Amino acid sequence: MEIQVVKKVLDANLTVANQNRDRFSRHCVFAINVMSSPGSGKTTLLEKTLTRLAPEFRAGVVVGDVSTTHDAERLARSGAPVVQVNTDEFGGDCHLAAHVVASAIDRFDLDQLDLLIIENVGNLVCPAEFDIGEDAKVVVLSVTEGEDKPVKYPLMFRVCDVAVLNKIDLLPYLDYDRNAAIDYIHQVHGGMPIFELSAKSEAGFEGWLDWLRNGIRRKIGG
Amino acid sequence: MHEMGIALQIIEIAAASIPAEMKPVQVETIRIRVGKMSAVIPENLNFCFEVASKDTDVEGATLCIDEVPVVARCKSCNHQWTLSGPAFRCESCQSGDIELISGQELDIVSIEIAT
């Protein structure tokens, strides 16, 4: 005997993600989900971003890692409140699921924040699958990775709203074809905005910061 | 590997779909639809399901995975086609402004119960 079910497997995650989204809206917090491979420079990017935006906006960070608090310690030096989530407590997951983010945001006073940055676990596959209630998804790709990462991991580049191409200060030393990388990104996600920058030297940082400022202002205003 | 979390969700949803008056009953098949663009590897999902379904109401069930192709529609020229690789550009007019009609599914369709 066949029983029809027709239910999305990730419904439970989506329900909690929508609750997170409602909370961010109620408290006028612009929430971004930052994803990448390990070693793309996410933490350096976020350190500099927090420092640069600190005079204008109040930001908080949720840091997801399988283990260690190394990134959280680095980001906390910016003065922003940081909550570390180690997914080994949740079975060593390769991504942050919505319920994990929900318990992390319980530890913030959301009324005191304009921006919440969620630094996802370093992985270009699984985090793309899980909605966590964010306003925007950001993928960080560095020029020390292959040009063809976007076509190797298309779901990630398809679901993200913007891409950051990091470590451009290294281009003179690398045999890296940045035009090919950009073409691959646009092959997967036509028209996707790309911010080419160096988190280390802060070259090219303004476009990225302006995108964040606009997002925050839209959310605060709304 | 996030297939374990997905397997646990499948087990929960399938177990909840068994009518209470029929329990205990052998669930023979759980049919799911997995889009080719969802980040799920069927072999991993099968393995996780087998391990995680032990001692649950769906122990012994087989996962029947229907893979759904990635189908796109061009918003500029309305052309519709099945993608065979990660090239999300209209094969007819080369526009990048396309929408995915299928390929990201992760749905439970039905459960088959022994009668």
pLDDT of A36-78, one tens digit each?
A: 999 999 999 999 999 999 999 999 999 987 777 888 888 888 8
Closest CA of chain B from A210, distance in Å? 25
Nearest to B39 among A1, A8, A128 (CB): A128
State the pairing for strand pair A82-86/A194-196.
unpaired
Across the interface, whether the CB atoms of A190 and B98 are under 8 A apart is answered yes
Closest CA of chain A from B82, distance in Å? 14
Tell me the pLDDT band of B103, cut-offs 50, 70 and 90: very high
| ipTM given for this complex | 0.82
Closest CA of chain A from B50, distance in Å? 17
Across the interface, whether the CB atoms of B109 and A126 are under 8 A apart is answered no
pLDDT digits (tens, 9 = 90+) for A84-142: 887 665 556 788 889 999 999 999 999 999 999 999 988 999 899 999 999 999 999 99
Cis peptide before A172 (omega within 30 of 0): no
Cβ neighbours for B23, distance < 8 A, ≥ 6 positions apart: B57
State the pairing for strand pair B98-102/B106-113.
unpaired
State the pairing for strand pair A115-119/A59-65.
parallel
**Alpha helices in A35-171, H assignment, sequence order:** 42-53, 70-76, 98-105, 149-152, 154-159
Rounded distance, CA A27 to CA A219, Å? 9
A61 near A83, Cβ under 8 Å? yes
Q: Which DSSP symbol is given to A120?
A: -
Closest CA of chain B from A86, distance in Å? 15
Q: Please name which of B70, B75, B101 lies closest in space to residue B85, comparing C-alpha atoms.
A: B70
Tell me the pLDDT band of B5, cut-offs 50, 70 and 90: confident
Q: What are the angstrom distances between the C-alpha of A93 and each of A90, A104, B4?
A: 6, 15, 9
H-run or E-run covering B62:
strand B62-68
Rounded distance, CA A99 to CA A82, Å? 18
B83 → chain A, closest CA residue? A188
Across the interface, whether the CB atoms of B14 and A5 are under 8 A apart is answered yes
B99 near B73, Cβ under 8 Å? yes
In the chain, the amino acid numbered A176 is Y
Tell me the pLDDT band of B1, cut-offs 50, 70 and 90: low
Q: Which DSSP symbol is given to A202?
A: -
Nearest to B110 among A2, A95, A186 (CB): A2
Tell me the pLDDT band of B2, cut-offs 50, 70 and 90: confident
A97 → chain B, closest CA residue? B5
Interface list for B 30-59 with A (CB within 8 A): 32, 37-40
Which tokens belong to A38? 């390990």
